[in-house]
Amino acid sequence: MSRPRHAIAGIALAVAAVACFGALDTTTKFVSTSVPLLLALWCRYAFQAVATTITVLPMRGMSVLRTRNPRFQWLRGVLLLTSSLLAFASLKYMPVGEFTAIMMIAPLAITVLAATVLREHVSPLRWMFVAGGFAGTLVIIRPGGDAFQWASLLPLGVVVSNSWFQVLTSKMARTEDPVTMHLYTGWVGTLVASLGLPFVWTTLPHWWLWAALCFMGAMGAIGHFMLILAYQRAPAATLTPYLYAQIGFAMLGGWLVFSHVPDSWSMLGIVTIAVCGAGGAWLTVRESRLVMEPLEA
């Protein structure tokens, strides 16, 4: 497959992945009123862990479990579990579209981490995109407004934990097999969530709730696996703008299932975040080309 076709395949896989994540978030909000939070979280990770193991182990054998950084694998798994826990709690109180838009400032938050923790140079234009993204978040949350509630701050916790997860993932991807990382993520989440499972276990009143929990697990597992395949075919700078399609899928899910349409202020914040996030991705592509041109000369 040629390089352009690889990129197109990567983009298609990335869009399919965020469609799965939109379906996961919509279903999570749907079951949040009937299923204990930790039980839903455990089912989501258990399904991913078992499905990944059944798929990968026959092809790769026990060698897929080999890792150079077992402690980082555990830390990465706990960070994603924390992010999922806060996300599930957020979706119980917030509309899907607005929640997803706030979640999408994670790449901008990673820029702040890169500048403050990793001491990387960040251009003034990129800082403008970061400021714009956070301004869009404030427009959605509207602290001090009549629509503000404490649960509106939960997505910011998701952004923090997910940003550290992404930074650690980027660091580990240089030496670790992505399939191994995906496998450990599922099992670490399952094992840690299992510690609290006896305290929240309950018999669900309807069979379709179990079906919804299995669907959540399937969407999470398929979405993450598609994202791994996407990154194998195209660089992150190429894919990042298309990840913002998740906002559209989330808004569609919120409209179809809950008949929710964001108000004008929320739409302004959503558009601001999407534009600034896509602008940051465009800047990444532009900067990488400027670096490569002197090397090719």
For the stretch 136-156, pLDDT in tens is 887 877 765 555 567 777 888
Query: Pick from 95, 111, 127: which is nearest to 240 by CA?
Result: 111
Structure tokens at 266: 């929320």
Calculate ∠ Cα 42-246-231, nearest 5°: 80
Angle separating helix axes 3-31 and 96-103, nearest 10 degrees: 130
Q: What pLDDT shows up at residue 16?
A: 92
**Dist CA 122 CA 143 (whole Å):** 28
Q: What pLDDT shows up at residue 295?
A: 41
Indicate whether this model's pTM tops 0.85: no
Q: What percent of the chain has pLDDT over 70?
A: 86
**Dist CA 26 CA 32 (whole Å):** 10
Element (H, E) at 266: helix 264-296
Q: What pLDDT shows up at residue 134?
A: 81
Q: Is the pLDDT of residue 291 over 60?
A: no
Q: What pLDDT shows up at residue 236?
A: 67
Q: What is the pLDDT of residues 51-66, one digit of tens each?
A: 889 988 888 888 888 8
Q: What pLDDT shows up at residue 20?
A: 94
Q: Is the pLDDT of residue 253 over 70?
A: yes
Q: What pLDDT shows up at residue 231?
A: 76
Least confident segment among 97-111, 199-213, 280-294: 280-294
| 61 Cβ contact partners less than 8 Å away, ≥ 6 residues apart | none
Q: Is the pLDDT of residue 7 over 60?
A: yes
**Dist CA 229 CA 66 (whole Å):** 20
Q: What pLDDT shows up at residue 294?
A: 47
Structure tokens at 70: 């077992």
- Cα–chain center distance at 34: 24
- Higher-pLDDT residue of 269 and 116 is 269
Q: What is the pLDDT of residues 104-147, one digit of tens each?
A: 777 777 777 766 666 666 778 878 888 888 888 878 777 655 55
- DSSP at 66: -
Q: Is the pLDDT of residue 225 over 70?
A: yes
What is the pLDDT confidence band of residue 237, given thresholds at 50, 70 and 90? Answer: low
**Dist CA 132 CA 135 (whole Å):** 5
What is the pLDDT confidence band of residue 267, given thresholds at 50, 70 and 90? Answer: confident
For the residues 268-278, what does the mean pLDDT come to? Answer: 84
**Dist CA 45 CA 213 (whole Å):** 10
Q: What is the pLDDT of residues 70-81, one digit of tens each?
A: 899 999 999 989
Query: Which residue's structure tokens are 């450990």?
Result: 184
What is the pLDDT confidence band of residue 297, given thresholds at 50, 70 and 90? Answer: very low
Q: Is the pLDDT of residue 181 over 70?
A: yes
Q: What pLDDT shows up at residue 51?
A: 87
CA atoms lying within 13 Å on the CB side of residue 168: 20
38-52, 172-186, 221-235 — which one is most confidently predicted on average? 38-52
Query: Which residue's structure tokens are 């299995």?
Result: 214
Q: Is the pLDDT of residue 269 over 80?
A: yes
Q: What is the pLDDT of the chain when averaged over all its residues?
A: 81
